[in-house]
Amino acid sequence: VGPRCTAPASSSGIMQRSIRTCLMRGGSSKGVYLHAKDLPAPGPLRDNVILRLFGSPDTRQIDGLGGADVLTSKLAIVGPPSVPGADVDYTFGQVSFVSSQVDYKGNCGNISAGVGSFAIDEGLLPPPGAGETHRVVRIHNTNTSAILKATVPIGAHGAEVDGSTAISGVPGTGACIDLDFSATSGSVTGKLLPSGHRSEMLSVAGGDGHGPEELEVTLLDAGQPTVFVRSADLGLAPTTCASSVLTAVALADAALLRRIERIRGAGAVRMGIVQTWQEAEEKSPYTPFVVLVGPAPGADEPKDLTATCIFMQQLHKAYPVTGSVATTAAALLPGTIVHTAAKPPTGALRIGHPSGVMEVEGCVEDGKSPTLVRASIARTARRLMDGSAYVPWAVWPKL
């Protein structure tokens, strides 16, 4: 018989603090959705509570709710609106599993897809009225100060789940949620084109056997600040960006990933997000994205271009919604490297990515200061579980 451990006495009978929690899939991501009122105020204590909930930092997140993947270590904090014209406030957090950090600098469009349904089902909005089939939920994203619009199908008992909409990266089908990101131009930097250029040469530091280099890029901020680079300029064929197997093999190259991180850092400096390229990994690991773009592999392919996103220093196994907003805006703007790579779209832009194809309805008003007029995408979402999650009292002590 092994040694027995004696638990310390507790006057409450509960050894940990419980926090109301919902685990939800939004688009092709999965996250923990929490009520703002159930957490400490923004600051170090709140971040420590979140890190402990997720089991971070730990690459397995074995002692928490995180899924040990950049697509599942995500957080939505939802509460009453703080600005006119919104129905709810929503704060997104990307929870690192390699460092004690929650990054709030950008938004996740896939996690955004679940916010409307969560707000409806949690009673943050009035219950469905008689005969009401859809509810437009105006979501104030506190990370970017933008208001997103989610059109959520509803029934007598809340948000609908069953439907015929399929999205790449998620098995099966679900009820269609229309997400409108039209108001996300300049989401972080304040400008659609943060540097004022549609394409430019970017000076990138050397390292890992690579010397300093100059690469042509497009820097664009809609949905999420993004650094666009031609896949061919990194030695990757367009077919690589269209195949999950080939992309995974190519991006298993640690030196290539570090090179991409240096490009991301240089882009972050040019956009005014950080002061030096070295700060990007430490202070802003989520923002900006890097997207490798190339032409569609064949004229008959149901794609207008190919794209692979790198974020949190890893390959995105599908494609980020906020990244698709930036990609669509860039594809519709003459003079960008994305516009050059893409076929002229005849309708929605079809983005070929490692898990399939994503379609985005978009419109850009061109001119000296181009404006994003429309960016809309269909997503699905599903509540997976709800209940209580726990953190030790030592992390969040009683008052």
Calculate the CA 81 to chain-centre distance: 21
What pLDDT score was predicted for residue 253? 82
Within 8 A by CB and 6+ apart from 223, the residues are 107, 109, 181, 184, 187, 321, 322, 323, 324, 325, 326, 329, 375
Q: Report d(CA 50, CA 387) in Å as an integer.
A: 16
Using an 8 Å Cβ cutoff, are 112 and 173 in contact?
no
What pLDDT score was predicted for residue 252? 72
**How large is the greatest C-alpha to C-alpha distance in the chain, in angstroms?**
78
- For the beta carbon of residue 222, count every other beta carbon within 10 angstroms: 33
HEC sequence for 57-98: CCCCCCCCCCCCCCCCCEEEEEECCCCCCCCEEEEEEEECCC
What pLDDT score was predicted for residue 7? 46
Reported as a single tens digit per residue, the pLDDT across 293-349 is: 999 887 778 899 999 999 888 888 889 999 999 999 999 999 999 999 999 878 899
The DSSP element (H or E) to which 106 belongs, if any, is none
Within 8 A by CB and 6+ apart from 169, the residues are 27, 28, 317, 318, 319, 355, 356
Residue type, position 273, single letter: I
Q: What is the pTM (predicted TM-score) of this model?
A: 0.88
Report whether the peptide linkage leading into residue 288 is cis, meaning its omega lies within 30 degrees of zero. yes
Query: pLDDT tens string for the chain (399 positions)?
Result: 454 554 444 445 578 999 999 999 999 999 999 999 999 999 999 999 999 999 999 999 999 999 999 999 999 999 999 999 999 999 999 999 999 999 999 999 999 999 999 999 999 999 888 899 999 999 999 999 999 999 999 998 899 999 999 999 999 999 999 999 999 999 999 999 999 999 999 999 988 767 799 999 999 999 999 999 999 999 887 666 656 655 666 667 888 889 999 999 999 999 999 999 999 999 999 999 999 999 988 777 889 999 999 988 888 888 999 999 999 999 999 999 999 999 987 889 999 998 899 999 999 999 989 999 999 999 999 999 999 999 999 999 987
Q: Report d(CA 224, CA 288) in Å as an integer.
A: 7
What pLDDT score was predicted for residue 251? 66
Locate tokens 């197997």: which residue? 245
The DSSP element (H or E) to which 230 belongs, if any, is strand 224-230
